[in-house]
Amino acid sequence: MPYTYDYPRPMVTVDALLFGAGADPLTVLLIERGNEPFAGRWALPGGFVDMDEDLPLAAARELGEETGVIGIELDQLRTFGAPDRDPRGRSISVVFWAIVDERQFTARGGDDAARAQWFPVTSLPPMAFDHASIIAYAVRRLQWLADRASVGRQVLPGRFTAAELYALHVRVGGRAPDAESLVSRLQAVNALVAEAGATHYRFNPEHVLTC
């Protein structure tokens, strides 16, 4: 007999937050909801977790089903669970995120998403649930990371210049030290490896990167 208990069971969902940092301005991938609640409004790709499904796999599955974007390495950002965030009832969402070069992906609506589209983070359409607040939190987190760590392993090529790295950090964080100081700081924490002649760099695969 399966084990049961007497406590309420909140709904558990996952959402995938993809920032596009391949070009100015910084963008985020959204889907137009085809079903209620909030039909016609825009949201992060996501949905309910299957009973036999791990959370990262659920986020990748929902992202692929609703936007056609696959093969993204997603990291867990945070869990959001305000009691009134979903009109259907108590809902807890685990949000996963990544920074990508959006120019490499063709987003299309699928499953219960009417459309999929990249939007500038500073000009969001009417949003569903608490997703505008989630994006705002993620932008702040991204700016914090850009000041302290190397970001963009899924954006920059395998070899890149200090100028390319600097431009990415400015796009992501809105501010950055000069390119030379940025490189020196990231080398000090073993995040970057200099190529021959120190004209190009690459990310150190042994360094744990957040985005």
Question: In angstroms, what CA-CA distances link 79 with 108, 142, 172, 201?
Answer: 26, 16, 22, 34
- The string of pLDDT tens digits covering residues 131-190 is 999 999 999 999 888 877 778 888 988 899 999 999 998 888 877 678 888 888 888 888
- The string of pLDDT tens digits covering residues 40-93 is 999 999 999 999 999 999 999 999 999 999 999 999 999 999 999 999 999 999
Amino acid identity of residue 39, one-letter, is: A
C-alpha 136/C-alpha 54 separation (Å) is 26
Question: In angstroms, what CA-CA distances link 72 with 55, 68, 166?
Answer: 14, 11, 23
- The string of pLDDT tens digits covering residues 103-135 is 999 999 999 899 999 999 999 999 999 999 999
pTM of the model: 0.91
Residue whose token pair is 């993204």: 72
Looking only at the bridges linking them, the beta strands covering 201-203 and 11-20 are: unpaired
Number of C-alpha atoms within 13 angstroms, CB side, residue 45? Answer: 35
Go through the domains of the chain in sequence order and give each one's CATH number. Answer: 11-146 (3.90.79.10), 150-203 (no CATH)
Tokens of 154: 């899924």
Phi and psi, residue 187, nearest 5°:
-70, -35
